[in-house]
């Protein structure tokens, strides 16, 4: 899997706009310089689903807008089923046009923010991570390697890791299937 070099987020938005103009179908995988991942699913140039850090639609867009630099890879072979974003009244193409206002709000915080204690990441057996990565790849494609590594660095246990990975699967039925399969494969029972 090859990614382009890091570029300003505005250039990513422009590339997405070009994919829409070209009426492309597939998925744009975006990885920010701080290892946040996003997926933009296109069908004939229309954005049908947007995912970023387990969020969908407008919430995913808000997370994407805070990216400063990122790389992009487009996969014509990975096409997800359309989400219900069109019926939500959110025009993702319009929202992507001007990321500056949200980025400014995110940066301009009043005073220092309190730090929440976070549990230390768990040490996972490489065999367990490899199983999860392979199962996840069946649902989200080759970006599973990156997604699995990111969540493993933040999760405090296998059950939490499985739940975090499932949240990055666009289709809810597939996410439930993944949780069940992963729970069985890792001896966790129902997850």
What range defines the domain where residue 137 resides? 126-185
For residue 141, tell me if it sits in a domain.
yes
- Tell whether 102 and 169 lie within a shared domain: no
- Tell whether 92 and 132 lie within a shared domain: no
- Tell whether 95 and 140 lie within a shared domain: no
For residue 98, tell me if it sits in a domain.
yes
- How far does CA 27 lie from the centroid of its chain? 11
| Residue 177 confidence class, pLDDT cut points 50, 70, 90 | very high
- Tell whether 101 and 130 lie within a shared domain: no
d(CA 164, CA 55): 11
Q: How many residues does the chain have?
A: 191
Q: In this structure, what DSSP letter does residue 170 have?
A: S
Query: pLDDT value at position 110?
Result: 42
User: Can you give the pTM of this predicted structure?
Assistant: 0.51
- Tell whether 88 and 156 lie within a shared domain: no
d(CA 7, CA 181): 37
Tally of domains in the chain? 2
The answer to whether 47 touches 92, Cβ cutoff 8 Å, is: yes
CA-to-CA dists, residue 169 to 25, 141, 159, 182, angstroms: 18, 10, 16, 13
| Residue 180 confidence class, pLDDT cut points 50, 70, 90 | very high
Rg (CA), the chain: 17
Per-residue pLDDT tens over the stretch 97-151? 544 433 333 333 444 444 444 444 566 778 888 889 889 888 888 788 888 888 8
Per-residue pLDDT tens over the stretch 37-92? 888 888 888 888 888 887 887 788 878 878 888 888 888 887 766 554 443 434 45
For residue 118, tell me if it sits in a domain.
no
- Tell whether 52 and 101 lie within a shared domain: yes
For all residues of the chain together, what is the average pLDDT? 75
d(CA 35, CA 147): 9
d(CA 120, CA 170): 28
d(CA 172, CA 153): 24
- Tell whether 102 and 11 lie within a shared domain: yes
Q: In this structure, what DSSP letter does residue 110 have?
A: S
- Tell whether 92 and 153 lie within a shared domain: no
User: Does residue 25 surpass a pLDDT of 80?
Assistant: yes
Query: pLDDT value at position 96?
Result: 55
What is residue 6's three-state secondary structure? coil
């Amino acid at each position: 899997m090859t990614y382009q070099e890091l570029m300003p987020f505005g250039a990513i938005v422009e590339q997405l706009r070009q994919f829409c103009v070209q009426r492309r179908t597939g998925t744009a995988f975006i990885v920010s310089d701080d290892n946040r991942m996003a997926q933009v699913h296109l069908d004939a140039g229309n954005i049908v689903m947007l995912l970023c850090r387990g969020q969908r639609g407008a919430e995913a867009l808000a997370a994407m807008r805070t990216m400063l630099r990122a790389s992009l890879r487009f996969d014509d072979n990975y096409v997800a089923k359309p989400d219900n974003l069109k019926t939500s009244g959110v025009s993702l193409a319009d929202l992507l046009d001007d990321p500056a206002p949200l980025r400014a709000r995110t940066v301009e915080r009043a005073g220092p923010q309190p730090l929440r204690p976070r549990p230390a990441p768990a040490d996972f057996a490489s065999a367990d991570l490899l199983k999860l990565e392979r199962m996840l790849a069946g649902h989200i494609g080759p970006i599973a390697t990156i997604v699995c590594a990111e969540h493993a660095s933040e999760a405090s246990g296998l059950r939490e890791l499985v739940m975090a990975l499932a949240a990055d699967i666009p289709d809810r039925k597939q996410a439930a299937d993944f949780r069940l399969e992963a729970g069985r494969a890792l001896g966790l029972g129902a997850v």
